[in-house]
Amino acid sequence: MTLRATAAAAVLAATALLGLAPLAAAAPGGPVPQPEAATAENRAAAERAATAPDTLATLSRFFAREGKISLTAAQPRIEGEAIPVNHLSPEFVAGRAGASVARLEFLASRAVSSDGQQAALWTARTEAGWQVVNIATGDDEFRYARLGAEKLPGGTVFREPQIDAWYVTGGSRVLPLDEDAVRAVGAGGASLDAYRARVAGAYGDKLPGSSYAARGMAGGYAEAPAGGDATPVAAVTGGAGALALGATGLLLLRRRRAAGA
């Protein structure tokens, strides 16, 4: 399921509720700035951003939405180290020689409230330094990292965000980690060449610089859904919410949870 930005009213409502600043370094509708590498220095910077008092205060409001828990009782904490999160690489889709199937998009820190709610804090280097650029409900980033390590030790776990599919790749194989990925490549996975052919066919005309991008469609690298899937933050329930920042402000998005394969 593709993520899609809300209308301006939802943006303003989400911004007012969560108090997160816009990410001026990102192009409208485009991806968050990428960290260059998941170095120890970058991990430490990401963790400082995730544990900052303002971030924890925002997390309290996030976990307390819809009265799930009180602001004072939420007591959010950050568990474990920040982990790298990879997405399907546009360079790979474009067939650039030597391009890896996945590229590092951001670092994620696990946030947990006192009543057990979980969220992922996405952190990236912006013009203002390392910042939290997204808060997403659930533990997808951490769960699929674990599943990928179990399925293919030493492999690279990555997400194909256009269909919300998670994979692990190593050598010349791409293996599925969730139901969306199974539908895309089959339960047994696909060769790297076969996977490249599939994504090139699906997204090759939607890359940055394409006419698709010029029309403002998700930065030129996503499939438009048949219908809107975003709601104001006050209407988000369960594990379906995600908050993303762009140059125009805070955008509330819906994230579908996929079962591990």
In whole angstroms, give the CA distance from residue 170 to residue 79.
28
Looking at residue 160, what is its pLDDT?
94
Q: 4-8, 55-59, 113-117: which has the minimum mean pLDDT?
A: 4-8
Q: 62-66, 71-75, 179-183, 224-228: which has the minimum mean pLDDT?
A: 224-228
Asked whether the predicted pLDDT for residue 15 surpasses 70, the reply is: no
Confidence band for 136, pLDDT divided at 50, 70 and 90: very high
Rounded to whole angstroms, what are the CA distances from 157 to 22, 68, 168, 189?
29, 32, 4, 14
Residue 102 · residue 169 · CB < 8 Å: yes
Confidence band for 204, pLDDT divided at 50, 70 and 90: confident
Looking at residue 197, what is its pLDDT?
93
Global pTM value: 0.72
CB atoms under 10 Å from CB of 33, counted, come to 18
Asked whether the predicted pLDDT for residue 230 surpasses 60, the reply is: no
